Amino acid sequence: MGYADQNGHPYVSIGSLLVQRGELPLEKASMQGIKQWGVQNPQKLTELLHQNSRYVFFRLLPDTLSGPLGALGVPLTAGRSLAIDPRVVPQGAPVFLSTTWPNSDKPLNRLMVAQDVGSAIKGGVRADFFWGFGKEAENQAGKMKQNGKMWVLLPRDMTILPSSK
């Protein structure tokens, strides 16, 4: 399955709503924490989910792809692909990322590629890290909300035109 489109409604973070309502402490507002809250509060889950009216639509992709297709139309690479705001970071650009592993002080410094975009990613030093597939990738992705630094690596004389997105 791959991204096809979305319905145009603004994204509402259910994790942020739970924090604002005092039902989840900020440090627990991860995918894992939200899932646990849902298991413990099944009677409140439907109402919470209805607070985000954005829907994403998917399409079938060939089984032969090595990963999901990013905005550039090429498969994403686990641990090396970023989704960025194309108004600030050019798609396809190499990006050096300096951050830490989720829930850790252990440094995570590596060269990445801006291969995807995300409507919730706004600004220059914002990105989504593609961890890949499987339980470990799901675990890392669910906890990732690290601060960090990004360097976009471009030729010195390159002129960047604003994206139309």
Residues 43 and 93 occupy one common structural domain: no
Residues 143 and 96 occupy one common structural domain: yes
Global confidence as pTM:
0.73
Beta-bridge mates of residue 110: 97
Residues 93 and 141 occupy one common structural domain: yes
Please report the pLDDT score of residue 85 as a whole number. 92
What is the chain's pLDDT, residue by residue, as a tens digit (165 residues)?
888 888 989 888 899 999 999 999 988 888 889 999 999 999 999 999 999 999 889 988 888 888 888 999 899 999 999 999 999 899 999 999 999 999 889 999 999 999 999 877 888 788 999 999 888 988 898 888 888 999 999 988 877 666 555
CATH number, domain of 90, equals 2.40.40.10
CATH number, domain of 52, equals 2.40.240.50
For residue 123, the 8-state DSSP code is S
Q: Which amino acid is at 101?
A: W
Residues 53 and 86 occupy one common structural domain: no
Please report the pLDDT score of residue 144 as a whole number. 86
Residues 28 and 91 occupy one common structural domain: no
For residues 96 and 136, what is the distance between their CA atoms, to the nearest angstrom? 23
Please report the pLDDT score of residue 65 as a whole number. 85
Residue 30 is part of which domain span?
A: 2-58
Residues 87 and 146 occupy one common structural domain: yes
Residue written as token pair 């298991």: 39
Q: How many domains does the chain have?
A: 2
Please report the pLDDT score of residue 143 as a whole number. 84
For residue 144, the 8-state DSSP code is -
Please report the pLDDT score of residue 83 as a whole number. 94
Residues 96 and 136 occupy one common structural domain: yes
Residues 85 and 53 occupy one common structural domain: no
Residues 141 and 88 occupy one common structural domain: yes
Instruction: Specify whether the CB–CB gap between 133 and 94 falls below 8 A.
Output: no
Closest by CA to 144, choosing from 119, 111, 115, 108, is: 108
Beta-bridge mates of residue 16: none
H or E element, residue 99: strand 94-100
Please report the pLDDT score of residue 146 as a whole number. 87
Residues 121 and 88 occupy one common structural domain: yes
Q: Is 131 within a domain?
A: yes
Q: Is 67 within a domain?
A: no
**Region for 27 from its dihedrals, namely left if φ exceeds 0, alpha if ψ lies in -120 to 50, beta otherwise:** alpha
Residues 54 and 85 occupy one common structural domain: no
Q: Is 75 within a domain?
A: no
